[in-house]
Amino acid sequence: HGGAIPPEISNNLKQLNTKVTTLGNQVTELQQTVQTVSCSSDPCQNGGTCLNLLNSYHCLCPSSWAGANCASDVNECQTFEGTLQGCQNGATCVNSPGTFICQCSPEWSGNLCTVRYDDCRNGGQDLCVHGLCIDSDRVVSGQPKYQCICESGWEAPAGNPACVSDVDECNLPTKPCSSNPPVPCYNTQGSFYCGACPAGWQGNGYSCQDVDECLTNNGGCSTTPMVQCMNTMGSFHCGPCPPGYEGDGRTCTQSNICSSNNGGCHPLAICSSNPGSAFPLCTCPQGYTGNGYGPSGCTQISNICETNNPCVNGHCTSTTSGYICNCNPGWQGIHCDQNINECLSNPCQNGGTCTDSVNGFTCTCTAQWTGPFCQTQQQECGGQLTGPAGSFSYPNNPGHDEYDHLVSCTWVVRTDPNKVLRITFPFFHLESSNNCNFDFLQIHDGDNPSAYILGKYCGQNNPQELYSSHNSLYFWFRSDHSINAGGFTIVWESKDPVCGGDLTASYGNINSPGYPGNYPPGRDCYWTLSVDPGLLITFAFGTLSLEQHPDCNYDFLEIRDGLLLEDPVLGKYCNTASPPPLQTTGPTAWIHFHSDFTVSDRGFHITYTTSPSDPGCGGTFTDSEGILISPNWPNDYAHNRQCFYLITLPPGEQVALNFTNMDLENHSDCSFDYVEVRDGRMETDLLIGKYCGSTLPAPIRSSSNSLWIRFKSDSSVSRAGFRAAYSIACGGILSGTGVFRSPYHPNPYPYNKVCEWVINQQEGYVVTLNFLSFDVEGGSCSFDFVEVRDGPSPSSTLLGKFCGDQIPPRLQSTQESMYIQFSTDSSVNNHGFEAAYDSAIEGCGDTLTSPSGTITSPGHPTNYPHGANCTWYISVLPGNLIRLVFDSFNLEYHANCNYDYLEVYDGTGTTGNKTGRYCGRSVPPSITSADNQMTLLFVTDSSLSGEGFSASYVSINASTDCGESFSSPTGTFTSPSYPNNYPNSRDCTYKIIVQLNMQIMLNFTSFELEGTPPFCSFDFVEIRDGGYETSPLIGKFCGSQRPPVVVSHSNRLWIRFHSDPSITSHGFIAHWDGTQTGMCL
């Protein structure tokens, strides 16, 4: 259309232009605003990355920074605590702007302290030189820490861990080379070697075995005749030449075989040469049996018949194998103890009543009959009566009837010829008168009125029972013309005669049977007379009237100067005479009276008295020691002397007798002058020896508390005699199991005494010694003491020297012999000691007192023996504990360890608190004692065996060194001595370390300590979350309130138990479980 713009368009354009202008202004403002809040201004600091946003920006900060502009430092120590990105292994985290630093403990390095120092690897191969390097945790930063386990023969010198110092094995307390016998030791660099075993020994020098020279050619000792070769340690010696030969044992030449020591025959045997033989013919004397050789070659035929007659009612006959009982009439059975009932055959006639008795019977007859069988009509007055038993009366019914006046009746009662009569009076009533001159009953010891009158009786008192000395009695009853009475009844029975006896009084009488009447026929009476040693016996004859015979073959009286059949006869009599007095040469005598079966006589009446012997001739000795001498020693003894010495010590002791001088007349049988020693108190006790000449007898020791010694001289040669010293015996050679004691124990021991014992056990066994009681003068052990040595001699290694009243520890040798000496001085004497000895398998048990040591089962590492019973006693210094660690363990398994087992006890002996019993293959845990003593008992049965065990122990300071480090996933630990009260003044640290990335749950199931929470100033348990005492504290606990269940943040926990010096309590038991992760409480 051309022309002007329409107005509405013009207006619209104006409006549009205004809007465009406004929009432009707004865009300009917007651009200015965006430029103000955009990244172009580089707002992000510390390396932050800027992101533009609408009307804003955003900074992406590095991990070490934070904030809108990355200007705020991040504290990584807090952020990474307990994570793998933080400091590890106990390091201290130090934060700094934009980063953090880990200050590592001395053992660790690296940014996060995750690299462990291995000082052995870093230091090269020659750090230890002659040893194995074992890395240890560093204690000081930058200072390497390692330990060298030195090779055998090397050690580390002070201040230098390297094994560069040679060990002088030859100067160690335990010598490596043989000490019995001693072998020289030569030290070399890192080693040593032993010299050769000395002559008489074989081996490599480390150990030497005795050469038994006797196995080759009898050791050089004589073989014709054969002489015993006796091997000794390192040598040998030859025994004596046999009887009939003389020489040094290597060479023996034949001599008068019977001239020395009776040819080796028994002292009582008859020795005679045996041509072509090295042995004599020995013949035992009558009354003895045996081969006649040696001190036990002749044995007296069993004297049980004399000492303890087993035949109750019979005659005992000794045999070589025992005895035989020949029963008396009326008895039967093996021991003649069964009475034969003679009434079974109804022997009593005419209505008589039978009463059985020994070897017979008694018939009680009716009033009209009499006689042993009631076979004879009653005689009014007198008669002949026979039989083993019976009775007679006058009148027929005494007590009911009365006897007549002017009666004279006689009865003769006879029994068997070898019996006597016992008479009793059941009823007796005659007229009474002085001297029985009116009515009386008179009894004669025989069968006629001329026999000896035993008694004359009247009145109403029943006479006492009577015994005849013969087999018959004569009774005479007479009445006068006046008063009469009820009469009498007499009962008789046969008895075996009894005569002789054992007399010990210092004076007395000896009569023949029936004296002063005639002695009976067929009798043998024996009297033994023993008075105190040092006394002589004198016999005086008041009456001697025996049947006469020139050789005394019929009736005789014999007196011997001693108690034995071989003792000399002082006198033998068979006549009527008044012999002069007899005197013995010693304190004993033997009297024998014999009568045959024919002529009889009055017999004898002897009075004996005692008187002292010569000074020095015999006596009784009761002191603990003394001297015996022959009379007049050292001058010549007198002829015809016999001296008896009796040494008696308290019961339970023994006598030691040593002859120091011997000079007696010599004879092959010692028949002239001699000294005789018997083992006991009597001349009839066991003969030890009979000695003469000038050869000193070997030392003698009794088997009981007495020795009996006789010195006898004859009428010819006289010499200086003898001197002998006796003492209480002690010491000796022992073996096996037993008990020995100091002399007189439990009474005070004697002064100036030295006793030596050697205990020998069989090969492969050692000696154990336990003192049961001990009380020896105390002090420095220089006065009275007991000394124990490891070996057979006084020069063996000393195990201990003891005195005072404290019982010594159990002792054990290292070899098969132990030597013990008990020595006393002249002053104080206490009660002494008693000790028990036993054997143990070599290597089986010991007493250990060093600060550390090793214990192995016998034979380890080879199989242990069956039937072992081994005890090890460990005792360290007071104030220390014992920690026992097992290196290997393999015993026969049983669920209850009933077969083979090892038991560990807290304290000395198996009476202490038992820590545990172990068997099988599981290695027991390490064990710490509650005090300074520990006992191990190892027992095996008779079946299976294994390699045994090996363990080591070490002494640790009780006040600081307790606690332990644990690495097993689960387990238990306790306070010391739990469940008993814990000891005072202990500070124990327990560390639990489990597998990485695991946590530990700790639970106390029992808890009782001194103190009151929350202060816990006395006794307490402290728990820290980590492996160090600087780790974060979880809590400190005491009293009886158990700690809560604790869960660690890492794989470590650190626990401390502390007790003060005063009150204690039961303590605690705690269990841990380190097998889980992701736990929280």
Query: What CATH number does residue 540 fall under?
Result: 2.60.120.290
pLDDT at 245: 66
Band (167; pLDDT cuts 50, 70, 90): confident
pLDDT at 919: 93
Looking at the structure, tell me whether residues 131 and 46 fall in a common domain. Answer: no
| SS3 state at 992 | strand
Structure tokens at 1026: 């980590």
Question: Is the N-terminal amide bond of 861 cis, ω within 30° of 0?
Answer: yes
* pLDDT tens, position by position, 248-265: 888 887 667 677 677 778
CB 1046 within 8 A of CB 1023: yes
Of residues 674 and 515, the one with the higher pLDDT is: 674
Structure tokens at 721: 């005699």
pLDDT at 722: 92
Domain boundary among 776, 806, 841: 841
**Distance in angstroms (rounded) separating the CA atoms of residues 240 and 252:** 9
Tell me the average pLDDT of the chain.
86
Greatest distance between any 2 Cα atoms in the chain: 233
Q: Which helix (H) or strand (E) holds 841?
A: strand 832-841
| SS3 state at 246 | strand
* pLDDT tens, position by position, 316-366: 877 656 778 889 888 888 888 888 888 988 888 888 889 888 777 888 877
- Percent of the residues in the chain that have a pLDDT greater than 90, as a whole number: 26
Residue 107: domain span:
77-116
**Distance in angstroms (rounded) separating the CA atoms of residues 453 and 446:** 9
**Distance in angstroms (rounded) separating the CA atoms of residues 259 and 264:** 10
Is a pLDDT exceeding 90 seen at residue 828?
no
Looking at the structure, tell me whether residues 719 and 742 fall in a common domain. Answer: no
Mean pLDDT of 783-801: 91
Is a pLDDT exceeding 80 seen at residue 1078?
no
* pLDDT tens, position by position, 843-888: 788 888 889 999 999 888 888 888 888 888 898 888 888 889 999 9
pLDDT at 1006: 92
Mean pLDDT of 982-998: 88
Band (748; pLDDT cuts 50, 70, 90): very high
Find all residues with CB under 8 Å of 1075, minimum gap 6, and list them. Answer: 969, 970, 994, 998
Find all residues with CB under 8 Å of 823, minimum gap 6, and list them. Answer: 753, 754, 755, 784, 785, 787
Q: Cα-Cα-Cα-Cα dihedral of 193, 198, 201, 206, to 10°?
A: -10
Residue with tokens 């929350």: 1014
In 3D, which of 491, 460, 487 has the Cα closest to residue 395?
A: 487
Looking at the structure, tell me whether residues 247 and 286 fall in a common domain. Answer: no
Structure tokens at 635: 């001058």
Looking at the structure, tell me whether residues 430 and 389 fall in a common domain. Answer: yes
Looking at the structure, tell me whether residues 162 and 178 fall in a common domain. Answer: no
What's CA 815's distance to the chain center, in Å? 19
In the chain, the N- to C-terminal Cα span, in Å, equals 95
Q: How many CA atoms lie within 13 A of 597 on its CB side?
A: 4
Looking at the structure, tell me whether residues 755 and 835 fall in a common domain. Answer: yes
**Residue 108 in domain:** yes
Phi, psi of 876 (to 5 degrees): -110, 180
pLDDT at 83: 85
Band (121; pLDDT cuts 50, 70, 90): confident
**Distance in angstroms (rounded) separating the CA atoms of residues 931 and 875:** 9
**Could you give the C-alpha distances from 717 to 567, 644, 694, in angstroms and in order?**
20, 20, 14
**Residue 344 in domain:** no
> Across-strand partners of 65?
73
Domain boundary among 459, 480, 495: 495
What's CA 34's distance to the chain center, in Å? 111
Phi, psi of 580 (to 5 degrees): -70, 165
pLDDT at 1002: 92
Q: What does pTM read for this prediction?
A: 0.43
Phi, psi of 8 (to 5 degrees): -65, -30
Residue with tokens 């009116």: 438
Helices (H) and strands (E) in the chain — how many of each? 4, 86
* pLDDT tens, position by position, 911-923: 778 888 999 998 8
**Residue 326 in domain:** no
C-alpha radius of gyration, the chain, whole number: 55
* pLDDT tens, position by position, 639-695: 888 888 999 999 989 999 999 899 999 988 898 999 999 999 888 889 999 999 999
Looking at the structure, tell me whether residues 987 and 1062 fall in a common domain. Answer: yes
**Residue 341 in domain:** no
pLDDT at 317: 79
Q: Which helix (H) or strand (E) holds 154?
A: strand 154-155
Is a pLDDT exceeding 80 seen at residue 126?
no
Looking at the structure, tell me whether residues 81 and 44 fall in a common domain. Answer: no
Mean pLDDT of 767-796: 91
Looking at the structure, tell me whether residues 799 and 831 fall in a common domain. Answer: yes
CB 794 within 8 A of CB 732: no
**Residue 367 in domain:** no
**Distance in angstroms (rounded) separating the CA atoms of residues 126 and 132:** 9
**Distance in angstroms (rounded) separating the CA atoms of residues 253 and 224:** 9
- What CATH number is given to the structural domain containing 47? 2.10.25.10
CB 725 within 8 A of CB 626: yes
Give me the number of domains the chain comprises.
13
| SS3 state at 882 | strand
pLDDT at 811: 86
Find all residues with CB under 8 Å of 793, minimum gap 6, and list them. Answer: 758, 819
Most confident of 4-8, 398-402, 477-481: 477-481
Query: Is 189 exposed, middle or buried, given 0-12, 13-18 or 19+ CB atoms closer than 10 A?
Result: exposed
**Residue 369 in domain:** no
| SS3 state at 1075 | strand
**Distance in angstroms (rounded) separating the CA atoms of residues 673 and 692:** 7
Find all residues with CB under 8 Å of 277, minimum gap 6, and list them. Answer: none
Q: Cα-Cα-Cα-Cα dihedral of 186, 188, 194, 196, to 10°?
A: -70
Looking at the structure, tell me whether residues 776 and 852 fall in a common domain. Answer: no
**Residue 947 in domain:** yes
pLDDT at 417: 79
Looking at the structure, tell me whether residues 866 and 978 fall in a common domain. Answer: no
Band (986; pLDDT cuts 50, 70, 90): confident
pLDDT at 1013: 86
In 3D, which of 829, 838, 843 has the Cα closest to residue 810?
A: 838
**Could you give the C-alpha distances from 7 to 4, 13, 179, 563, in angstroms and in order?**
9, 10, 144, 189
**Could you give the C-alpha distances from 1061 to 761, 767, 772, 928, 1018, in angstroms and in order?**
49, 42, 35, 20, 9
> What is the total residue count of the chain?
1081
**Residue 374 in domain:** no
Looking at the structure, tell me whether residues 827 and 804 fall in a common domain. Answer: yes
CB 1049 within 8 A of CB 82: yes
Structure tokens at 525: 């009476």
Domain boundary among 167, 200, 234: 167
**Distance in angstroms (rounded) separating the CA atoms of residues 558 and 593:** 6
